[in-house]
Amino acid sequence: MNLPELVAGYVRVSTVEQAEEGYSIQEQSEKIKSYCKAMGWELASIQSDPGYSGATLDRPGINQVIKDVQGGYVKKVIVWKLDRLSRSQKDTLVLLEDVFLQNGCNFVSIMESFDTATPFGRCIVGILAAFAQMERENIKARLVMGKQAGLKEGNYYSGITPIGYKSELQENGKRMLIVDPFTSQAVKDMYKLYSSGRSLGEVGAYIQKSTVSIQSLIVATLLPPAPGFSAIRYMPAGSL
């Protein structure tokens, strides 16, 4: 008597927006269960990665699927849609060729209606993986454009606030740089001292004696003054 081939389902969602558009873990799981029932397949498990991006394989759920495939426990992996498996063309093809097919395991995507048990299915996976990669790059491009537009409107995104300024959340929800009256005066004094011919050592000595508390400042390199950026690079105190 031949034992039925066990199937492993995999579901993933990375954002609230996807969940609201019908990508939720529960909905994906229900679609997989219904499909397996209709095909007469025995669904052994459904591994999930809620809140994980498809950009990498650093996900506990997909890693468990890989272990089950390599261990010979399942002979078919099923997802609702290809990009739930991965949004990286390289990772998708690695999973398909080096993990699934190499271990005698087929891959099924419900939405794209293909099965790697057929040559056509294996060909289609490579094509669709390329589109998934392209969409990921388009998303990144849109994010960059959004940040650039935000900067033009006065929003501040950098994780490091320039010396002489502080990042402050405005009533309109935008985060903007405003002048810090304490550190900005020290920056102005340092620039004046250096531009008047004082050495970096002399400017550093001034900072140590300054009444303004700037424990993290040391003078390292003078930079051309520019709007939104202090004239001095800085390093943690005591690093000399």
Strand 106-109 with 114-115, pairing: antiparallel
Q: What is the dihedral of CA 75, 128, 126, 54, to 10 degrees?
A: -70
Give catalytic residue positions: 14
What does each C-alpha distance from 92 to 38, 53, 76 come to in angstroms? 26, 14, 15
Which neighbouring-strand residues pair with 43? Answer: 7
Burial grade of 176 (CB within 10 A; 0-12, 13-18, 19 or more): middle
What is the C-alpha separation between 61 and 67, in angstroms, rounded?
A: 10
Among candidates 141, 144, 105, which has minimal Cα distance to 122?
Answer: 105
